[in-house]
Amino acid sequence: MAPITNKKTIFAEVPSGVPEPGKTLKLVEDKIDLDAELKEGQILVKTLSLSLDPYLRGRMRPAGTKSYVPPFELGQPIANFGTGEVLKSANASIKQGQHVYGSFPFAEYNVFSKEEASQLRILENKEGLPWTTWVGAAGMPGQTAWHGLRAIGKPQKGETIFVSGAMGAVGQMVISIAHKLGLKVIASAGSDEKVELLKKEFKVEVAFNYKTADTEKILSENPFQIYWDNVAGPTFEAVLNTIEPRGRIIGCGAINDYNGQPYGIKNIFQVVSKELLYQGFIVLNHPIEAFYDEVPKWIASGEVTKPKEHVYKGLDNGESFNDLFTGANFGKAVISLE
């Protein structure tokens, strides 16, 4: 067979603020020979789904920038969690026809080395979930919600949790797991339409639009003991003033600060005066095997509310990534290449 087109989304330029589609990220076409012989340990994989997450903005930095994840390499595809079908294998541990999950370059087809293949997880998908769900509720965002809520939030039945960025991939799962554990939920989102979804489909007890409502007033009227922080900024400041003494704050994201000057918190002493716990975490540094024993089954059986997905068809110049910062997407943003 003659080589075929292999589309890729590459990191083309370091942005100074909000990434620009077609400038920061570019869609390019390459060629790949699907019949080429693989080296020992390699596998050829057709990409089925790719995750879009705000933290990727932190990898769009100059080379050498120190962080918990390395910066992307200019001229090379960006990468994130994905799923794919193994088309060919020269690896004794992975068979043709199996499906795998792990870090995928944003390309329609990828050849993984023996070392790279060893980091992939084989997905049996006995639950019959869509491949897009395996990079969302049943993937890293779900793992983040599952670990952070239990390990840091230490929830007790009957308590109340406030979740910011609630209609995002992680926020949805935090709400669903919180309800399963017997918590009440306060949630904020950036549009009235998202607030209605939170109320009607996720059964959130108190939901509000942070762009039009007085966040601190609402929180002061609804006592809460746990805060899941996806946004930082003024919302975090309002939380410090209103959370109950000895409350637990789970630091997950800071989308308010990703594309501009970080917001300066002016009331940080509340952490001391209220004896608050604030702890951040990187889910990749924690064991998640038990997650796979529980959460995919919960999703399939309806024990947790089925998460909303915003599915983009095919790779692009970065337009889908930018929607994460404008609020244009509803739910988990994911690229489907099926």
User: In angstroms, rounded to a whole number, what is the distance separating the alpha carbons of residues 149 and 140?
Assistant: 14
pTM assigned to the model: 0.89
pLDDT at 239 over 80: yes
User: In angstroms, rounded to a whole number, what is the distance separating the alpha carbons of residues 24 and 74?
Assistant: 10
User: In angstroms, rounded to a whole number, what is the distance separating the alpha carbons of residues 278 and 234?
Assistant: 16
Bigger pLDDT: 313 vs 329: 313
pLDDT digits (tens, 9 = 90+) for 115-159: 999 999 999 999 999 999 999 999 999 999 999 999 999 999 999
Averaged pLDDT for residues 323-338: 88
Residues of the chain with CATH 3.90.180.10: 4-136+308-336
Q: What is the pLDDT of residue 65?
A: 87
pLDDT digits (tens, 9 = 90+) for 181-207: 999 999 999 999 999 999 999 999 999
Q: What is the pLDDT of residue 333?
A: 93
Question: If you average pLDDT over every residue of the chain, what do you get?
Answer: 95
CB count, 10 Å around CB of 319?
Answer: 13
pLDDT digits (tens, 9 = 90+) for 26-59: 999 999 999 999 999 999 999 999 999 988 999 9
The length of the chain in residues reads: 338
Residues of the chain with CATH 3.40.50.720: 140-284
pLDDT at 256 over 90: no
4-136+308-336: CATH number? 3.90.180.10
Q: What is the pLDDT of residue 263?
A: 85
Name the nearest CA neighbour of 134 among 179, 172, 102: 102
Q: Which two tokens stand for residue 53?
A: 């997450």
The phi and psi torsions of 151 (rounded to 5 degrees) equal -80, -35
pLDDT at 82 over 90: yes
140-284: CATH number? 3.40.50.720
pLDDT at 1 over 80: no
Name the nearest CA neighbour of 248 among 153, 169, 176, 173: 153
The phi and psi torsions of 226 (rounded to 5 degrees) equal -130, 140
CA geometry: angle at 15 spanning 14 and 16, to 5°? 125
